[in-house]
Amino acid sequence: GQNIDQPTEMTATEGAIVQINCTYQTSGFNGLFWYQQHAGEAPTFLSYNVLDGLEEKGRFSSFLSRSKGYSYLLLKELQMKDSASYLCAVMDSNYQLIWGAGTKLIIKP
């Protein structure tokens, strides 16, 4: 079966760095997405990785290792507004997104 695993909840301090991990087992692979979702709102796109390595975009970076079925989202210089759920999603061989359950990130002052 297809499976996406990520931690349920993480807590970090304002100004610090946090890494949210995601492991996956899917039928085929056409890329991995990270989305941010604030409570009661729709997800917003953060990053897309299809090749191994690190993609940096401002305070956010995303890493992928296809051989390990592993990705992480790295958030630097955390701000209170970064408190949200972070969803990992893998596009399978049918170009459908398989979603993780999301990681709720709590930022403390």
Q: Which residues bind other proteins (CB under 8 A)?
A: 30-31, 33, 40-45, 48, 87, 91, 95-97, 99-102, 104
Q: Provide the phi-psi class of 25: left if phi over 0, else alpha when psi is between -120 and 50, else beta.
A: beta
Beta partners for residue 13, in sequence order: 108
Minimum distance from residue 101 beta carbon to other proteins (Å): 4
Minimum distance from residue 15 beta carbon to other proteins (Å): 27
Of 35 and 63, the one with the shorter C-beta distance to other proteins is 35
Nearest to residue 104, comparing CAs of 6, 9, 20?
9
Minimum distance from residue 82 beta carbon to other proteins (Å): 18
Q: Distance between CA 51 and CA 45 in Å, rounded?
A: 18
